[in-house]
Amino acid sequence: MKDLLTDTAARAARYIAEIDNRPVAPRAETIARLCTLGGPLPEGPSDPADLLGLLDEVGSPATVATTSGRYFGFVIGGTLPASLAANWLAGAWDQNASLQIMSPVTTKIEEIVQVWVLELLGLPANCGIGFVTGTTTANFSGLAAARSAILQRSGWNVEEDGMFGAPAIRVVVGEEVHVSVLSSTSTPLFAFRRAT
């Protein structure tokens, strides 16, 4: 196990060190090499070191260099050394963060982040924070919270009365609206319109 993790760290460090000297988009020949991955379901286990080597040698060149200084595609955050190292440690911990009893450390870290984010944004300390998996879920969660607040002002309690029969809500967005907002508002409850 120790040798495998040491090899992984060395391969990851090399990938990071070389990221600025490679093209942002993978070349056609590196993408074509991806066909060497997969194949028939193995009858038995594979050597983890061999698998890691294959993933690195075939997979690493076929990645998009989103962490390089020359990537201007989608909004994807670059990995900082501390966050990458913490991610590796979190992977080793392999915690289920759904309940405090299942992972006290994860709960504590979430509490710390909540306090810091509220302070950073200048929000009252009694505000709540939710952690989501990405932009789509964040937009969906924000729309759901706004929907509940707007309907509550209209005298409708979503939590008690449900959605059937609730007043329709108009959602106004700009031309460059994220697709997740369009997906979240594609129900009869929302009257969707783009701002001009």
Asked if 57 and 7 sit in the same domain, the reply is yes
Strand partners for 47: none
Q: Is 52 left (phi over 0), alpha (psi -120 to 50) or beta?
A: alpha
Domain that holds residue 53: 2-66
What are the helix (H) ranges across the chain? 2-18, 28-32, 48-54, 81-93, 104-121, 135-153, 158-161, 179-184
In this structure, is residue 73 part of a structural domain? no
In this structure, is residue 75 part of a structural domain? no
Output the CA–CA distances (angstroms, integers) from residue 148 to 13, 153, 187, in the order listed: 47, 9, 15
pLDDT of residue 91: 92
In this structure, is residue 165 part of a structural domain? yes
pLDDT of residue 170: 82
pLDDT of residue 59: 96
Write the DSSP symbol of residue 19: G
Predicted confidence (pLDDT) at residue 161 exceeds the cutoff of 60:
yes
First CA to last CA distance, the chain: 58
Asked if 127 and 139 sit in the same domain, the reply is no
What's the mean pLDDT in 69-81?
80
pLDDT of residue 63: 95
Q: Is 147 exposed, middle or buried (0-12, 13-18, 19+ CB in 10 A)?
A: buried
Number of domain units in the chain: 3
In this structure, is residue 145 part of a structural domain? yes
In this structure, is residue 32 part of a structural domain? yes
How much is the mean pLDDT over the chain? 87
pLDDT of residue 108: 94
Q: What is the pTM of this model?
A: 0.67
What's the mean pLDDT in 55-80?
87
Asked if 125 and 159 sit in the same domain, the reply is no
In this structure, is residue 45 part of a structural domain? yes
pLDDT over 70 percentage in the chain: 93
Asked if 6 and 53 sit in the same domain, the reply is yes
